Chains A and B, each alone.
Chain A
Amino acid sequence: MTQQFDRIVAQMRMGGMTRREFVGRATALGVSTALASALYTKGARAEEAKKGGVIRVGMSGGESTNSLDPALAASEVPFQVNMTWGEMLTDVKPDGTLDMRIAEEVSSTPDASEWKFKIRKGVEFHDGKTVTAEDVVATLKRHTDEKSQSGALGVVKGISEMKAEGDMVTLKLAEANADLPFLMADYHLIIQPGGGVDNPTAAIGAGPYKVNVNEPGVRHTFTKHANYFDSTMGHADEVEILVINDNTARTAALQSGQVHMINRVDPKIVELLKGVPGVSIKAVAGRGHYVFIMHCDKAPFDNNDLRMALKLAINRDEMVQKILGGLGSVGNDFPINAAYPLFDDSIPQRVFDAAKAGEFYKKSGHDGSPIVLRTAPGAFPGAVEAAQLFAASAQSAGIPLEVKLEPDDGYWSNVWNVEPFCASYWGGRPVQDQMYSTAYLSTADWNDTKFKNAKFDELLLSARGELDQAKRKAEYSEMANILRDEGGLILPMFNDFVSGVSDTIGGWEDDPNGELMNGRAQVRCWLNS
């Protein structure tokens, strides 16, 4: 085994392997996932970082309506922009472990109901002020206020009491939560001076770069924050993020060297781009997934046999090949994959089985009237084609599935969470608890499958406060099985983040937490030329 292992480590050092390949092959040899992942990080970091230059990123997902208020960030460009100027209390490393940022230490009471974050000394905001525990509490308070419309409201509303004393922030929780340090890595929770209450869009943070020009929907430029606390990040003198929503222009900009990296490479042209000198394609497995959701409380989807028939009638492999161009992995009808800590990979993979789907359909006693699946081009990239593939494979199993095309306009208000069966997507969350609490807990606002299961809720709450990782993993595994076999979620595929990166960029590391190294490619990479 040692010899084989040495060989794949050598191959990895030479850059011939992605993290996923390396971890997959190392674990096959009996090495634990965490160790393999750490080894990969060490190997890939062997290169020396170079300072200076201007890193330019060309991105889709920006509009002239974007705001610098971190509470409001929802699309790709605001996320990337905020990660350039902001710092949270914590972050999540590519291997899924906790990265201490503004907080340098975190500890909790044994029941995980009270957490203490020690604030790092001497961290400076762009305006020269020092980051204090008061700033942290004020920031969290602002996001708790419904008027701030924060995307992190669900994360912070479980905090019942916040206190700042010296360099210590104490957070008391209404219900125990072992994941709290990970939740503080939510990208909305950027620490702002005075909590950003006076001017939430000032973009004053403690991150590696200061905002220089902010033209929403056009470009965002940044200059280095001289007193940034972390010398392992922020190598370039300046960063520019250009909004290039058109696929062809974005690709051309990368090829011609006008930008150094781009997001959202169209899966259709990935094969073509692989042959282009000076450019490499990074397909990184993430937590985002495309779904078809059924309301468990509405006919005919209130019948679990019918739900099971539909789950068996979808051809997952075909979807990954045809909709994602192979840049993704099959789903198993629960929203967790290997990118999450405590994932149970022993749960059997559900596969397309027309005969069994037909049996379940007959057993459900459905009257044979058309089952309507609503979809729109904007539900996820390729949602219309995916729905058509689904309908075709369902019909081959004798299920009368019919696709209804809806307009993009108003899809999220008139169809999603309203109609009983439609296409949708989720971006994933840093930890299992957050994903399940957001969309599968009986009382969740975004319970878009209307899934109500007392046993599932009980397990979720128990796992949330459980600090024993083995017990916690078993509880999550049981929850996954319940959701997989009884839920209203059909999850055919997890999509990869596909980015294009110029060979002049050094320090790239595949990060499953988010697109373009979890929004920080421009601060963690450097220019080689």
Chain B
Amino acid sequence: MHPVLKLVAQRVALGLLLLLAVSAVIFLGVEALPGDTAQAILGQSATPQALANLREKMGLDQPALIRYFHWLGGILTGDLGKALTNGQDIAQAIGQRLGNTLFLAACAGVISVPLAILLGLVAARYNGRWPDKLISGITLSTISLPEFVAAYFVIYLLTQLIPIFNPVAMVFPGMGFWERLHAVALPVIVLVLVVLAHMMRMTRAAILNVMQSAYIETAELKGLSPMQVIWRHAFPNAIAPIVSVVVLNLAYLVVGVVVVEVVFGYNALGQYLVDHVSKRDLPVVQAVGMIFAAVYIGLNILADVIAIVANPRLRHPR
């Protein structure tokens, strides 16, 4: 077997094992919370009789271990079950929201990744001079701003002062592509501001690190322009660390943007997860938790593979 394929297979197997562990941890975590689904639903209006009825109806009177394995069996056969709280089919509800999550992440990623790398290259090229300081200063200040502050700022700027966008970014089936883009413009701007600095700084640092090497000096001596040196000689060797940071940020764009979703009323997975955590809707929490974990683990495997492919030394391990 090709060593790269073998490596990928190993990583995927490890990832699956990790997912299984994650499912157990999520289950234990939710079990450990005070109260249960029945109490969370009935709230102040809970009477012992109503609680007992609801628990029986939801199967909450079964032992935790049985419920866990029952659910695990379901997920392996593609059946995520129904939400305990409103009886909606989980797979269907998640499907649409996962699409929205990925759409937002993709929009933010398509803008922020090339922009961050480009800015990183420029910053490295003018290391220590004013373009470098300007780029670093701006991106560091946007990353230092909490997401919700940045969100309120763009709401004020782009819906009140210059009213070109809507503060509420909900998307619905049946919306055209451009309509969707217009709807998600504000959250995309905020997310770009938030993830830009991390990737930009890493690109800059990785390039500068490679620039210390002797072969760069050779490239310079043979008369290449500074930008050509960076692009053709330094960048290919700095890909591995850049990719790992890019992937980390992409994972964040998928799993970690609940604050932005809430502020803009964007109907994606994060908001869905938070609602169901507060109602102790275990099947939904576990399903979404598993999706987030799978995305995270999957993207990290991807980063590893790209790093290996990009580096001949890792491609042929001894």
A residues adjacent to B (C-beta < 8 A): 58, 63-67, 74, 146-147, 149, 151, 153, 201, 213, 215-219, 242-246, 248-249, 252-253, 255-256, 258-259, 407, 409-410, 412-414, 416, 424, 445-446
Contact = CB atoms under 8 A, between A and B. Distances in A.
Please name the 10 residue pairs, one residue from A and one from B, whose CB atoms are nearest each other, closest first: A410-B34, A65-B85, A252-B167, A410-B35, A218-B267, A67-B86, A413-B39, A63-B275, A64-B275, A244-B265
Contacts of A245: 262, 265
B267 A215 contact: yes
Contact of A217 (B53, B54, B172, B267): B267
Contacts of A445: 47
Given A151-B45, A242-B170, A413-B46, 18 more contacts: A64-B271, A65-B41, A74-B45, A147-B57, A149-B53, A201-B86, A216-B88, A218-B265, A244-B168, A245-B262, A246-B263, A246-B265, A248-B155, A249-B168, A252-B167, A409-B35, A410-B34, A412-B44
Contacts of B44: 412, 416, 424, 446
Interface string B270-307: 01100110110100000000000000000000000000
Contacts of A215: 172, 267
B87 interface: yes
A242 B171 CA distance: 11
A255 B160 CA distance: 8
A413 B167 contact: no
Contact of B83 (A65, A219, A413): A65
Interface in B36-95: 39, 41-47, 49-50, 53-54, 57, 83, 85-88, 93
Contacts of A149: 42, 50, 53-54
B27 interface: no
Q: Which of A64, A74, A255, A258 has the most CB of B within 10 A?
A: A64
Contact of A252 (B83, B160, B278): B160
B14 to A, nearest CB: 33
A445 B45 CA distance: 9
B47 A219 contact: no
B45 A256 contact: no
B167 A414 contact: no
B33 interface: yes
Contacts of B86: 64-67, 201, 216
A341 B19 CA distance: 60
Main secondary structure of the interface of A (DSSP, over half): loop
B152 interface: yes
Contacts of B276: 64-65
Nearest to A245: B262
Nearest to B52: A146
Contact of A249 (B34, B88, B155): B155
B237 interface: no
Given A253-B166, A412-B46, A248 B263 contact: yes
B234 to A, nearest CB: 44
Contacts of A249: 155, 167-168, 263-265
Interface string B166-201: 111010100000000000000000000000000000
A60 B258 CA distance: 17
B142 interface: no
A213 B33 CA distance: 34
Question: Which among B47, B86, B170, B281 has the greatest number of chain A C-beta atoms within 10 A?
Answer: B86
A65 B43 contact: no
A201 B88 CA distance: 10
A323 to B, nearest CB: 19
Contacts of B85: 65, 67
Contacts of A409: 33-35, 278
Contacts of B160: 252, 255-256
A252 B43 contact: no
Nearest to B265: A244
A74 B271 CA distance: 20
Given A67-B86, A243-B265, A256-B160, A219 B170 contact: yes
B309 to A, nearest CB: 40
Contacts of A414: 34-35
13 contacts: A63-B279, A149-B50, A201-B86, A218-B267, A243-B265, A246-B265, A249-B155, A249-B168, A249-B263, A256-B160, A258-B167, A259-B168, A446-B47
A65 B155 contact: no
Nearest to B166: A258
A216 B85 CA distance: 11
A58 B156 CA distance: 18
A74 B86 CA distance: 13
Given A253-B166, A414-B35, A242 B155 contact: no
Give the most central of A66, A153, A217: most B CB within 10 Å. A217
A242 B273 CA distance: 19
B159 interface: yes
B35 A217 contact: no
Contacts of A146: 49-50, 53
A168 B175 CA distance: 48
Given A147-B57, A255-B160, A65 B275 contact: yes
Contacts of A413: 34-35, 39, 46
Contact of B281 (A65, A213, A246, A407): A65
B137 interface: no
B189 to A, nearest CB: 15
B163 interface: yes
A217 B264 CA distance: 13
B265 A242 contact: yes
Given A65-B276, A146-B50, A74 B159 contact: no
Interface in B191-213: none
Interface in B4-47: 33-35, 39, 41-47
B48 to A, nearest CB: 9
Contacts of A66: 86
B272 A64 contact: yes
Contacts of B152: 248
Nearest to A216: B86
